[in-house]
């Protein structure tokens, strides 16, 4: 974010506090506009990152066609409807054709899309399509489980609800056994339950 944009955001937050009936000059709020601007810059840094660039330096040739899964990838995002957080876990699987992705790059890819104003459904699809476009695997599966503060703090105020979305491409969509294997494997927890 440019310095000019940051300054504009600081002024907007200052004005927002005034509109809410607060005194932005009182001790507890003096630096709030700067802190909010810095926070929003961090929480939306995904706009300034190219997802394909994040993955490009970690593509490797392979002869394996066995399923690769990285699960329980923690993420935090902001819903585009209320700008309130939603957070949870992302599970990613793919069946390589001739390339694999360095394992640490998949959580980085999740962060690129999570660090934008989002809806969970689109984020799930974007992650799957990026992997599909980049390495052309036999199939990709992405499942996201998330809690949304816009449902917990306001609106329906349901504290224990969460949303599950999935994107299944290639063999994950076409072959029920592949899809079931993925879903069974992400249900398994490391502690054996």
For the annotated catalytic residues, the residue numbers are: 79-82, 120, 148, 150
Greatest pairwise CA separation for the chain in angstroms? 64
| Exposed/middle/buried for residue 190 (C-beta within 10 Å: 0-12, 13-18, 19+) | exposed
Residues 150, 88, 180, 65: is their CA dihedral positive or negative? positive
Residues 35, 37, 41, 43: is their CA dihedral positive or negative? positive
Point out which residues pair with 94 in neighbouring strands: 68, 140
Q: Which of 192, 193, 85, 176 is nearest to 139 (CA)?
A: 176
Residue with tokens 């984020």: 123
Q: Which of 51, 54, 37, 29 is nearest to 1 (CA)?
A: 37
Distance from C-alpha of 145 to C-alpha of 103, rounded to nearest angstrom: 20
> What 3-state DSSP class applies to 33?
helix
Distance from C-alpha of 79 to C-alpha of 177, rounded to nearest angstrom: 33
Distance from C-alpha of 134 to C-alpha of 138, rounded to nearest angstrom: 12
């Amino acid at each position: 974010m440019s310095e000019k944009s940051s300054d504009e955001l600081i002024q907007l937050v200052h004005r927002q506090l005034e509109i809410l009936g607060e005194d932005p000059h009182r001790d507890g709020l003096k630096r709030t506009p700067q802190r909010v601007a810095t926070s929003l810059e961090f929480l939306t840094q995904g706009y300034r990152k190219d997802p394909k660039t994040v993955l490009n330096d970690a593509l490797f040739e392979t002869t394996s066609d066995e399923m690769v899964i990285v699960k329980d990838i923690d993420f935090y995002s902001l819903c585009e409807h209320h700008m309130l957080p939603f957070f949870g876990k992302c599970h990613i699987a793919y069946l390589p054709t001739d390339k694999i992705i360095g394992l640490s790059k998949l959580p980085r890819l999740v962060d690129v899309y999570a660090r934008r104003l989002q809806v969970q459904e689109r984020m799930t699809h974007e992650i799957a399509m990026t992997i599909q476009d980049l390495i052309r695997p036999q199939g990709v599966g992405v499942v996201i489980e998330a809690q949304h503060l816009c449902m917990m703090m306001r609106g329906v105020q349901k504290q224990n609800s969460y949303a599950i979305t999935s994107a299944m491409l290639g063999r994950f969509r076409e072959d029920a056994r592949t899809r079931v294997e993925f879903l069974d494997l992400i249900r398994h927890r490391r502690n054996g339950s």
